[in-house]
A and B are shown apart, each in its own frame.
Chain A
């Protein structure tokens, strides 16, 4: 327990407030706790549950605010006003929506598999909340600092694929099933470049723990890993069913995709999970590529503020992407994953590996193997930016035509109102 209490400041604070005594004075600095002697174990649970409370409420409240923010920003992009009636600037709109959905009738189709159908929102929200557990949201503040945190995030995040397929299968609706099949095909395609792009980060940091990754960022990794950051952003927006990649709920083609049959509170939960998923993805991008809680000044005191600023910025980028790009066709989406993102992820991985070998092993003193200093990071940033520009340009040109395997032959149409045979 010692190193856990030593490293996790928030956990230690809450623990000591409840269970501090002379026995654990080394960590609690003589604080006298509320709990009587012999009840220290309860302090561990109280501290853990407090952080869980913050995470769960932060995710759900954040999702509500994000819904509002996304609608407002999208409206501005579309030259509309967006929700502005209920509360100041329409800020209470998500709560009104939630209340409405809570008192709506909750329909389950007769042909549906009731148990699986009901489990879907639970699995979806669970995979999302679990992925928040490893994110350090302020200086030395997290629920658990796993040494496999990045792998854990990827593993838990792909649970949502299963939830989507459960939804499509259990609905008993063929359009829901189409949406689920499309989404599974797409999600597994984007999983590969997504996971591969994170290997670069792991290589430089020499650890999979998110806390270590933040501490290794003397230079934000978005500069050191421009290709990796780009691939991760695109891959994760596919995982989240965001607009350029939202073929699984393409309204104009397959009604609403996998959640066609959902109504009432279940629909609200699925939407909340999707929205909070964007926030979780933003949090991971902020942690892995933008430096997490570290900022130019006061990173240990104002860590949460820096983190929230970066998170908001990334979430805004997600909304911006959604407001800007049209939906891709499924063949374009698959070609984009397998013919563009995957080779770029390979290039990024190999170049980073060679650089890490050079700076961390070949050119490093024997007692500092695998440690990469700030100056070396700047050199890597310069090299990798060059590689990114060259690779994207070359590969973009090479695959531009191959990205469209089925060229659609347009018939030459006469403009409306043409009288055939006259002109």
Chain B
């Protein structure tokens, strides 16, 4: 049974390799096409510049960024970790019964308070 379990993951690992090789091989084919001159390779400074709107580019990648992204990242970490706890509980709820249900309800209520607090502090709004 355990061997069976590992064979499944072994197949997934092999599939991961295959899934990596398939797109890489297409990139290699494209490279070969450029070697046998089916595909042109003629870079020049204007072509290799980054595209903005057709005009000369102003500024690069390190422009200023909106700072408000970080609050969503914080909220995401909190809620996503909570959700990871939900999955094993969900599988076993039918066998565990009332105690498990109440425990998870308490957990979700605490989480819900956090969510209401975040809403009240206007952290859910895109300002």
Contacts and interface: CB of A to CB of B under 8 A. Distances in A.
Most buried by B among A2, A188, A349, A356: A188
A133 B96 CA distance: 31
Contact of A146 (B9, B61, B69): B9
Interface stretch (A85-93, A104-112, A379-387): A104-112
A266 interface: yes
Contacts of B65: 181
A104 B93 contact: no
A261 B124 contact: no
A331 B119 contact: no
Contact of B8 (A105, A145, A330, A369): A145
Contact of B51 (A106, A260, A370): A260
B50 A111 contact: yes
Contacts of A181: 65-66, 69
A238 B63 CA distance: 26
Interface in B22-77: 22-24, 26-27, 29-30, 33-34, 38-43, 45, 47-53, 59-61, 63, 65-66, 69, 72-73, 75-76
B110 interface: no
A174 B76 contact: no
Contacts of A343: 115
B97 A144 contact: no
A175 interface: yes
Nearest to B20: A126
A74 B9 CA distance: 40
A106 B35 CA distance: 13
Interface in A56-104: 56, 60, 102-104
A102 B9 contact: no
A353 B27 contact: no
Given A330-B126, A335-B124, A185 B72 contact: yes
A353 B76 CA distance: 23
B125 A331 contact: yes
A208 B92 CA distance: 11
Q: Which label, helix, strand, loop or mixed, suits the secondary structure of the A interface?
A: helix
Interface in A179-218: 181, 184-185, 188-189, 191-192, 195-196, 199, 202-203, 206-208
A109 B48 contact: yes
Contacts, number: 238
A312 interface: no
A130 interface: yes
Contacts of B80: 188, 191-192, 195
Contacts of A331: 125-126
B61 A174 contact: yes
Contact of B23 (A122, A339, A370): A122
A151 interface: yes
Contacts of B15: 48, 52, 55, 129-130, 133, 143-144
B16 A126 contact: yes
Interface string A226-252: 000000000000000000000000000
A342 interface: yes
Interface in B66-112: 66, 69, 72-73, 75-76, 79-80, 83-84, 86-87, 90-98, 101, 104-105, 108, 112
19 contacts: A1-B4, A52-B15, A111-B61, A122-B24, A125-B23, A130-B12, A130-B16, A133-B15, A148-B87, A172-B50, A181-B65, A185-B72, A199-B87, A206-B93, A266-B27, A334-B124, A335-B124, A349-B86, A361-B93
Given A56-B19, A350-B108, A361-B94, 19 more contacts: A3-B1, A104-B39, A108-B48, A121-B27, A133-B12, A143-B11, A172-B50, A174-B52, A191-B80, A192-B83, A199-B90, A203-B93, A335-B124, A346-B112, A349-B86, A350-B105, A356-B94, A357-B97, A360-B93
